Amino acid sequence: MQTIRYIVKRIGLAVISLFAIVTITFFLMNLLPGDPFMSEKATAENRAILVAKYGLDQPVYIQYGRYLKNLLKGDMGTSYVLQKGRPVATIIFESFATSMQLGVRALVLAIVLGVSLGSIAGLRKDKPSDGVIRVLSSIGISMPGYVIASALMIVLAVNLKVLPVTYNKPGGWIMPMITLAMYPTCYLIRLTRASILEVMNQDYLTTERAKGMSEFIVVFVHALKNSLIPVITYLGPLTASILTGGFVAETVFNVPGLGRYFVSSISSRDYTVIMGVTVFYSSLIVMMNLLCDILYKIVDPRITLE
């Protein structure tokens, strides 16, 4: 019962957050100087016609009401500038398919590498392998995305010439994937290591050893299971990090994904695309956070519900 109440409360909060984000972005966006048609080679008259056609001459709150109404019906409008006349929803889903292919690969790589290396470091505390993993993860966590991207390019594409620079060629997804996965992998290594060390000191493991269970079962069945709980909480921020990391990785490696639309839509004042991308990204992040928090409470009954 308590769990259900908690879940309902969290969903309510998520809806309010999303509503707040949509509202803030909409009004901020309308504060931007200029309009979507400023680059158009048209007379003032024609521009006025365009502005009137899209209803941009009406007061902002009326535009806002209309946008919200359409959004609830699932209609995000059509692009004004970047891909004139195409529905925003289509643009988002097409380009997000590419971003997601890359993002999911990076996510899987980060979780597999991060958890396994973190466990090795935690179980072999103060041994050389622990030292090496710790040093590497400290360095990895300190490198912004473009530094990793540049390093990969210089080494793998320019000097060794083993991988292509652009995304479309075969194997072109490897470098953007590593770029995206680097930070989360290193973060997960540190998180898993700390968590393992904490769990390994718990009394219940000593009890199990005293009962004569093999070290293998103690570690892999009982210790690892509990130490992976904090990792779940990181999955929400992890998704956010991979999404925003996509802005850089997609620019550097010319990936035709959603990330590059974000900055270009703002600079070209493509209102519907700005709103569409923001709504889409925020919903994704808010939903992932919600899912992780709920999962966290269900997996670990020790956590007291508010």
Partner 1 sequence: MKVSALSLQNKISPEDFAPLGSDHFRDEKLETEEIGYWKASWRRLKKNRIAMFALIVILILLVFAFIGPVLSPYTYDQQVRGDEGLWPCMAHPFGTDRLGRDILVRCMIGTRISMAVGIVSAVIVMIVGSIYGAISGLAGGKVDIFMMRLVDIIYSVPEILLIVVIKMIISEPLQNLIDNTPSLKGLQRIGPGLIAIFVVYGLLYWVGMARIVRGQILQLKNMEYVTAAQALGCSKGRLIREHLLPNCIGQLIATVMLQIPSAIFTEAFLSYLGIGVSAPMASLGSLASEALNGITSYPYRVIFPAVLISLIILSFNLFGDGLRDALDPKMKKA
Contact residues toward partner 1 (CB under 8 A) are 13-14, 16-17, 20-21, 24-25, 28-29, 31-33, 125, 138-139, 141-147, 150-151, 153-154, 158, 194, 197-198, 201, 240, 243-244, 247-248, 251-252, 262-263, 266-267, 274, 278, 281-282, 285-286, 289
What one-character-per-residue DSSP string does the chain give?
A: -HHHHHHHHHHHHHHHHHHHHHHHHHHHHHHSSS-TTTTS---HHHHHHHHHHTTTTS-HHHHHHHHHHHHHTT---B-SSTTTTSBHHHHHHHHHHHHHHHHHHHHHHHHHHHHHHHHHHHHTTTSHHHHHHHHHHHHHHT--HHHHHHHHIIIIIIIS--S-SSTTSTTTTHHHHHHHHHHHHHHHHHHHHHHHHHHHT-HHHHHHHHTT--HHHIIIIIIHHHHTHHHHHHHHHHHHHHHHHHHHHHHHTT--SSHHHHHHHHHTT-HHHHHHHHHHHHHHHHHHHHHHHHHHHHH-TTSPP-
- Output the smallest distance, CB 49 to partner 1, in A: 26
Pick 185 or 278: Cβ nearer partner 1? 278
| CB nearer to partner 1: pick between 24 and 60 | 24
How near is the Cβ of 123 to partner 1 at its closest, in Å? 13
Pick between residue 55 and residue 144 the one whose CB is nearest to partner 1. 144
Q: Kindly state the smallest distance separating residue 208's Cβ from partner 1, in Å.
A: 20
- CB-nearer residue toward partner 1: 100 or 274: 274
Closer to partner 1 by CB, 49 or 139: give it.
139
Work out how close the CB of 229 gets to partner 1 at its nearest, in angstroms, rounded to a whole number: 16
